Structure 1
Amino acid sequence: MSAIVIVGAGECGVRAAFGLRENGFDGSVTLIGEEDLLPYERPPLSKNHELDPKFIYSADAYDTAKIDLLLGKKVASIDCTNRQIELSDGLVIRYDKLLLATGARARLFPSLIGCLTLRTQADAEAIMTRFTPGAHVGIIGGGFIGLEVASSARSLGADVTVIEAGRRILGRAVPEAIASAVHTRHAQAGVRILTGTAIARTTATQVYFEDGSHMAFDVIIAGIGAVPNTELATNGGLNVENGIVVDRSFKTSDAAIFAAGDCCNFIWRDQRTRLESWKAAQDQGTHVAGAMLGDDAAYAKAPWFWSDQYDLTLCVTGIFDLSAETQTRSTSNDTSIVFQLDPDGVLTAAAGIGIGNSAVKELRIFEKLIERAKVFDGSVLCDPATNLKRLLRD
């Protein structure tokens, strides 16, 4: 009987484990996670004021699927020659195929001393309890995580300042028109956003700027991106470059080892990329389960991100070239949608923002259109009279 071991019990690793069973694999499946908690969803961490973890599956589901779930265990090393891993407690586990779904950790520069970060349930518990009415909260970074945390803190009555080094928020993720709408909504909620502001260093309660000024806070949270967890892969001799390098089937430089989720550098649209996204982790987990069982189909799912802030939902599908032109689809007053075509007219990315789920429906259609890699006349997509669903049937 063959054995598959999965290192990392986040969204990707869990999805892969259950995907193996759904694809008929009847060998042993071992899923290893460093946290003691049953695997849980991470998107609610920046939004869930109640601090109750949302488990991906119940404990009984793992038993029913005959998935050997090892929690609170750290993998110390990979022995590629003998196809085995060793845990920090000395336990050795043999594998026929190994999946590294080790995810990523919050980035924190050495100069940012005393800042909190948000990546785990324990992080959320430490942060959310500090968001009391009138508390002065400083957030470093105007990306998705920083802005979601700002929204949560403000909704709980905290006084919030977001500090972004770039000239605008969401500078690496979405076109300026969408970022501007988000900025406006935060300003309406009373959040102070400082852009183009460089930080020299911090303490747990003070931010010192490069211009010599400083600001005091009750708590400071750093939301400045994530670093892929690639140490196991590097020490095991695998190819690593901005993530664990994989081919179109998520196979690493070792034929018996696969990698997927936030930790991997994969191919999309003939370009290498790495994503930190719940949806990508889920999609890749499902795909790699088939790949480990011999399905050689190339991964074709379009990237998908979303963010809930106040009463707004922001969605992004595909990957924008933020130096290139975008076009706008005319919509209702409370919704904004922009998209991008490559020089050949192939749809590559779209983003939308609106009250509740008002933009989600059309963005889901854009997602499917992107996956089909079809050529479009931009004016057709801009026209509100164009039935997007009908384009799917053409």
Structure 2
Amino acid sequence: MSQPETLVIVGAGQAGGRAALTLCEAGFTGRIVLIGDEAHLPYERPPLSKALLKGETDLAACSLFSEASFIASGIEHFKCVRVSAIDPAAHTLRLSDGSSLGYSKLLLAMGGASRTLDLQGRGFNNVRYLRTADDAVTLEKKLTPGTRLVVVGGGFIGLEVASSARERGCEVTVLEAGSRLAARALPERLSEALLTLHRRKGVTIHLGAQIARLNGTDRVQSVALASGECVPCDVLLVGIGMQPNVELAREAGLSTGSGIKVDAYLRTSAPDVYAAGDVCEFPRGDGQLHRQETWRNAEAQGRLAALNMLGQSEPFNSVPGFWSDHYEFGLQTVGVLAADARIIEREGAEDGFLLLYMDAHSKLVGASGWGVGNSVAKDIKLCERLIESQVSLPVEQLADASVSLKGLLRGAHA
């Protein structure tokens, strides 16, 4: 009698958790092993910098499983364990506790780790990062009214923490080395909208900020800038991006670049090994390899990788997108915000707007929106369907807010 298959998932985050859940939903009857270096069940990361940090929710509400449903699923959860080596030829893993584990198929969804700030060789005890639920719980306790929070990095993590901290009554300063906020991911108009909003809410923002030194002994008491200004500090939050966890795959001989390279089916260069989520470098329609650090990407790739491990053989072609919340405003994007695209601006209510990215054939390839609450969600969803339609659109009507996007979509399908 042949042995039942063992499907192993390394990484118990959004992508890994979704993959495990998908295997169960698809009726897989073999052994499912989920390996994670945290003590918690898989959870969603977006609330860490928002609702969880503000004390509006708890970790259980962010989890992909309830404790009872996870037990009922039969998934074996190896907590607080790391994989120290992969042997693709033997289809085995070596674990940090010294044990080994065989697999029939393997999914690598290890995500990444926070990029660290050069602390000049000193061990400051008030420097914080935000990558895990434990990070969020620790930081939340520090964000009391009047606390002087200095955020290094004007990207999404830094700005979302700044928003949450201001709502908790903290004094917040953001230090961004670049010339504008979130420049790597957003167009200039959205960067300006973020800058205006955060300053209006009382956040001090320094653009082009260069840190000269950190003052203090066991704690950072102030941050000295190259400009000569000194920023007082009770808590220093570092939000300068993440580094994909590719070392394990690289040491096993898998093809890697900025992430673990996969084909259209999320298969790595090793037989029976797949990758998904933040660590996955995948091909897109432009022929280039890309990596995305978004909830949406982790969710979609985790699900598809699981199905392909079961023999579905479906290529990954999900339209990219992300969202970010700041005070009462939210921004959303969908598709590709190509640098060489023609941008059409479409004005909305209450300082809201849409930016529509058109290719040379007047086809919509991407869109980004800004508005109060979730007000842009409907338009972004319509834009996603317009992107998928791949039809040429009347540019002058796209720019006219009185022309319904739904009407344009109906015309595209006529």
SS in 2 for 1:366: helix
Aligned: 1:141 with 2:160 = no
Higher mean C-alpha deviation, range 380-389 or range 64-73? 380-389
CA contact (8 A) 2:7 2:103 kept: yes
Aligned: 1:152 with 2:164 = yes
Provide the rounded CA distance (Å) in 2 between the counterparts of 1:306 and 1:202.
Answer: 33
CA contact (8 A) 1:100 1:259 kept: yes
Relative to 1, partners in 2 of residues 1:201 and 1:272: Cα closer, same or farther, differing over 3 Å?
A: farther
Aligned: 1:301 with 2:307 = no
Match of 2:235 in 1: 219
CA contact (8 A) 1:301 1:371 kept: no
Match of 1:15 in 2: 18
Superposed displacement of residue 151, structure 1: 0.4
Provide the rounded CA distance (Å) in 2 between the counterparts of 1:183 and 1:304.
Answer: 22
Aligned: 1:108 with 2:116 = yes
Aligned: 1:86 with 2:87 = no
Match of 2:33 in 1: 30
Superposed displacement of residue 88, structure 1: 0.6
Say which of 129, 141, 145 aligns to 1:117.
129
> What is the root-mean-square deviation in Å for CA atoms of aligned residues?
1.8
CA contact (8 A) 1:174 1:322 kept: no
For 1:188-208, what per-residue CA distance to the aligned partner results, in whole angstroms no more than 9, with x for missing partners?
A: 111111111122343533323
Aligned: 1:280 with 2:293 = no
Match of 2:44 in 1: 41
CA contact (8 A) 2:342 2:359 kept: no
Match of 1:234 in 2: 250
CA contact (8 A) 2:44 2:63 kept: yes
Aligned: 1:162 with 2:179 = no
Provide the rounded CA distance (Å) in 1 between the counterparts of 2:187 and 2:97.
Answer: 48
Unaligned residue ranges in structure 2 (runs of 5+): none
Provide the rounded CA distance (Å) in 1 between the counterparts of 2:160 and 2:129.
Answer: 13
CA contact (8 A) 1:205 1:220 kept: no
Superposed displacement of residue 211, structure 1: 3.7
Superposed displacement of residue 214, structure 1: 2.9
Provide the rounded CA distance (Å) in 2 between the counterparts of 1:374 and 1:108.
Answer: 44
Provide the rounded CA distance (Å) in 2 between the counterparts of 1:23 and 1:361.
Answer: 31
CA contact (8 A) 1:131 1:158 kept: yes
Higher mean C-alpha deviation, range 51-60 or range 41-50? 51-60
Higher mean C-alpha deviation, range 380-389 or range 11-20? 380-389
CA contact (8 A) 1:311 1:355 kept: yes
CA contact (8 A) 2:350 2:372 kept: no
SS in 1 for 2:113: strand
Say which of 178, 197, 203 aligns to 2:190.
178
- Equivalent AA in structure 2 for residue 169 of structure 1: L
Percent of pairs identical after alignment? Answer: 41
Superposed displacement of residue 308, structure 1: 1.1
Aligned: 1:61 with 2:77 = no
Provide the rounded CA distance (Å) in 2 between the counterparts of 1:120 and 1:139.
Answer: 17
SS in 2 for 1:30: strand
CA contact (8 A) 1:178 1:336 kept: no
For 1:280-332, what per-residue CA distance to the aligned partner results, in whole angstroms no more than 9, with x for missing partners?
A: 10011111112112222221211111111100111111231346542112322
Match of 2:138 in 1: 126
CA contact (8 A) 1:76 1:232 kept: yes
CA contact (8 A) 2:341 2:358 kept: no
Match of 1:321 in 2: 338
TM-score (norm 1): 0.95
Say which of 6, 14, 21 aligns to 2:9.
6
Higher mean C-alpha deviation, range 310-319 or range 110-119? 110-119
